[in-house]
Amino acid sequence: MKKRIQIDSTLLTAVIFSTFIFFIFKNLYPRHLWIDNLLDIFGIVILLKAILLRMSARGHKKAHSAKSKSLVTSGPYATIRNPMYLGSAMMGVGFIFLVWPWWSAPLFLILFYIRFRPQVEKEEAFLEKHFESEFSKYKSQVPRVWPHLDDIPKIRTRQVFNLEECFSTKEQLGLLTWPVLAILLETVQEYFIYGGTDIKDTLLIFTCSVLAFIAGFAYYYQKN
């Protein structure tokens, strides 16, 4: 565990350093600010959904795993086997749309896959050894990280996101810390790339995006 934390800390440092390196090369970014603002909106929505998915996955596991004595196959785990990893990948993509060149998203996903695939396989090998046929059956029915395309329309928001469980772990702190970090990095990005920044405009874009996300989430939550 300590080794993994050390590796991830190194990767995080490299990502932050690379972010400021990217700022030097203005031609890598959209020339028009309105395009950057549009990408910001997409990034914020993806980031919020990612945070909420991680909150749901951790909260549901806490409520139903019985200290790892039972296999969790309900809630977000009924759709994919590793919602935490999907949430982390989505967070990365959200930040890319906010502060990195948008075209670097596929590269990030490839690196994410290379970094975390061994860890996922190791964890699933443990589960298969511990739960045997129960996990084998679950594994054969539920995809690892991304839901089957024909199952996506069938996904019910209430099934994936139990709000009480979402706010039952420290993962909820991400609702504050990650958006604040995103605002700071976006402000720095606009200063370097577009020669200046208006914090009021940035906050307005973020606020409208958050409100739109909340409205959309509430609609589908009530509908489903």
pLDDT at 99 over 80: yes
Separation of alpha carbons 181 and 196, rounded Å: 18
Mean pLDDT of 33-52: 92
User: Which domain, by its residues, includes 184?
Assistant: 34-223
pLDDT at 53 over 50: yes
14 inside domain: no
Q: Which of 15-19, 76-80, 160-164, 215-219 has the lowest mean pLDDT?
A: 15-19
83 inside domain: yes
pLDDT-derived band of residue 2, with 50, 70 and 90 as boundaries? very low
DSSP 76: G
9 inside domain: no
Mean pLDDT of 91-112: 90
* Alpha carbon of residue 216 to chain centroid: 18
CA atoms within 13 A on the CB side of 92: 21
Look at the chain and count its residues.
Answer: 224
Q: Which of 92-96, 116-120, 133-137, 152-156 has the lowest mean pLDDT?
A: 152-156
Q: For position 32, what pLDDT does the model report?
A: 86
| pLDDT tens sequence across 159-216 | 889 999 999 988 888 887 888 888 888 888 888 888 888 888 888 999 999 999 999 9
pLDDT-derived band of residue 56, with 50, 70 and 90 as boundaries? very high
152 inside domain: yes
39 inside domain: yes
Of 181, 210, 198, 176, residue with least CA distance to 99: 181
Of 164, 170, 140, residue with least CA distance to 73: 140
Q: Are residues 161 and 56 in contact, defined by beta-carbon separation less than 8 angstroms?
A: yes
Q: For position 7, what pLDDT does the model report?
A: 46
pLDDT at 6 over 80: no
Separation of alpha carbons 165 and 63, rounded Å: 7
Separation of alpha carbons 92 and 84, rounded Å: 13
Q: How many domains are there within the chain?
A: 1
Q: Which helix (H) or strand (E) holds 39?
A: helix 33-64
Q: For position 80, what pLDDT does the model report?
A: 94
What letters, b where the CB count within 10 A reaches 16 and e where it falls short, cover 4-40?
A: eeeeeeeeeeeeeeebeebbeeeeebeeebeebbebb
200 inside domain: yes
77 inside domain: yes
56 inside domain: yes
Q: What percent of the chain has pLDDT over 70?
A: 91
Separation of alpha carbons 23 and 36, rounded Å: 14
Q: For position 78, what pLDDT does the model report?
A: 92
Mean pLDDT of 99-124: 90
Residues 6+ apart with CB under 8 A from 179: 44, 47, 48, 206, 210
Q: For position 153, what pLDDT does the model report?
A: 81
